[in-house]
Structure 1
């Protein structure tokens, strides 16, 4: 909310802010009751959320520059990645690439690479479109909802140890996203 206000000067309604607050409380409750929690992990989780919010804001600002055309923005994004990614690989991953050369030569590697790349492309387009049609804040709240559902599914499938605080935090986050969604719906 604060980052959106600083970037766009756009105020968030009280009910939307309450929804976001409930989501944050849910996150705190869930992590406070974790079996294996570290301050470093908590710090990087919060830092990650900040950068996700900043990315959504930069996408919204960049869409304005390309006449709200998510396809043009995707093109620029891919050109940028094609230039920067090899430099990052060269600076950090050359040894790992040499070690994995045999595995990367297999057809199954390229098949998986093609599948993952295609899904990444589609998710990127969907994200750009969602930010274009709604707002960076709405994009982040829906991303939080998705992450909560994924976390619960993973905990159930892999039988991760959970606590009552985990489940309370999950339900608070779901409640917060529902409040936010209702608030945004009534504002239309």
Structure 2
């Protein structure tokens, strides 16, 4: 039957791979952060180091993966993108630690509006009316999600600080997208080389803060406690490091073998599953407000995706994966970010 042809099976396999990798990343991250809330920076450092090791391992067995030479001049040019990446990852991790897994989609719901704003300021161009409509819809969804609800117990209400982490995480994702466009030429336009620089550089930058925060000493103290489950932390670090690497591959493959619309629908389906599993696994509370909020955010994001995929300035698929690199730890895919960058570049021309 035509339904079972190789191309359809390939698309189905890649979408399943992407969704599974993203979901595993979110829930294993959340489980580790729940069991070891005082070790967020050390946990992130281990993920970065594992990603670097896996990149080297892949390069050793595949000629298609090239590890860049360490050059001081290149490192200086890439410092801004590396610094913004690690700050964004830290806020990502802190946000996920402090909010419910089902609420994480809402807490970081301003990714699209902030990206449009930053890219417009950077390119000194105005987005189209429909793009502004989609950004407004997403912003409305975010406001619905963070609005106070009397149906939530006090323990389930996200703190102002956790929402602040989510907004900052979204903001740094927006800055990261702009900086990636400027940084790729220094890496021979290779996302793999940029991924190596980003992960290795981020590990170097975060290491002093791990020490200053006293997390190695906290780890030693926890290891002496009989109530701490070290297995969750150790295996969680290994699993998230591995799946952070696989998520990079999954995101690239998903964009390569599917259309942007298909990819975004798979992201939307993953978000719905993430919410449902958060309720099931962690006992998260899903209110009507939150359900409507997630629906509105996804609706606005898919509207934007449709506008980008049908408009005249839509870039070729080969350019899309540039912002899908190792470093996206929570499985929150922002593939629409680069489409906005490409449109702005075309408008400037």
Task: Give the TM-score taking structure 2 as reference length.
Answer: 0.43
Report the alpha carbon displacement of residue 64 of structure 1 after superposing the two structures with TM: 3.4
Report the equivalent of 1:181.
Answer: 305
C-alpha change, 1:38 and 1:118, in structure 2 (3 Å) is: closer
Q: List per-residue Cα deviations over 1:3-23 (Å, max 9, x = no partner).
A: 111223454332222112111
SS of 2:189 mapped into structure 1: coil
For residue 197 of structure 2, the aligned residue among 76, 85, 88 is 76
Which residue does 1:47 correspond to in 2?
168
Higher RCO (C-alpha under 8 Å, 6+ residues apart): 1
**CA-CA distance at 1:186 after TM superposition:** 0.8
TM-aligned CA distance change 1:14 to 1:67, over 3 Å: farther
The structure richer in helix per residue is: 1
Residue 168, structure 1, aligned to residue 264, structure 2: no
Tell me how far 1:39 sits from its aligned partner. 3.3
Q: Identify if the C-alpha distance between structure 1 residues 4 and 146 changes in structure 2 by more than 3 Å, giving closer, same or farther.
A: farther
The aligned counterpart of 2:141 is: 26
Cα deviation 1:139-164 (Å, max 9, x = unaligned): xx99x958843234313544433322
Displacement after TM superposition at 1:108 (Å)? 7.9
Equivalent residue pairs, number:
177
Cα RMSD over matched residues?
3.5
* CA deviations over 1:76-131 (Å, ceiling 9, x no partner): 1233134234322221113113224579xx8886554332212122335666x59x
Distance (whole Å) between structure 2 residues aligned to residue 68 and residue 126 of structure 1? 20
Unaligned runs of 5+ in 2: 1-115, 257-263, 315-349
Give distance in 1, aligned partners of 2:280 and 2:223: 35
Quote how far apart the aligned CAs of 1:166 are. Answer: 1.5
**Contact persistence 1:63–1:69 (CA under 8 A):** yes
